[in-house]
Amino acid sequence: MNICGYYPESINEGEGMRAVIFLSGCRHRCPGCFNPETWNFRYGEPFTPERQQEIIAEMAANPLLDGLTLAGGDPFFSAGEAAAFIRELRAVLPDFPVWIYSGYTYEELLALPGSPEMELLSLCQVLIDGRFVEALKDTTLHYRGSSNQRIIDIPASLAADEVLLWQPAVL
């Protein structure tokens, strides 16, 4: 698995201050994608165990972070490896919230029980789902590019056996 970007601090890819890792590789190829170079699975740098541990150590040392966001590409095309990384992260930061972006819908991922994709989904707290649709592009939306995309509370949705949308923290 390769990564094509790492932001130690960002406020654009989820609630609060988040570390963001962009994983290489996507087969959705959404027209109008803002990051088409990330479609290539070989783009960027190898996400070696050493690099993973460096990033986990940086996150652990940063008291300003509210969580991690996995974006891409589409992390679900490297689901097994991404899940292994999150398990490593949880060994150091057990309650660190993970948001994840995917062109797949929640329902498409649920249709893969026992799969690496389902394991990855279950390790995360929030899913921004759905392919980017250029005709539905809306720059006023928080954390997503087109109005068909949803921000889903994964644990609540799994428990309720229905899609429940994420609600921002009350300030």
Instruction: Give per-10-residue mean pLDDT for the chain (171 aa).
Output: 97 96 95 89 96 98 98 96 98 97 97 95 98 96 96 98 91 59
In a domain, 92, yes or no: yes
DSSP secondary structure of 101-152 = E-SS-HHHHHTSTTSHHHHHHHT-SEEEES---GGGB-TTSSS-SBTT-EEE
In a domain, 169, yes or no: no
**Amino acid identity at 104:** Y
CA 162, 121, 30, 27 dihedral sign is negative
Domain residues for the domain of 129 are: 2-160
In a domain, 45, yes or no: yes
Question: Domain total for the chain?
Answer: 1
In a domain, 167, yes or no: no
In a domain, 20, yes or no: yes
In a domain, 166, yes or no: no
In a domain, 27, yes or no: yes
Enter the tokens of residue 169: 């923290």
> How much is the pTM?
0.95
Name the 3-class secondary structure at 19.
Answer: strand
State residue 171's pLDDT score: 59
Beta bridge partners of 7: 20
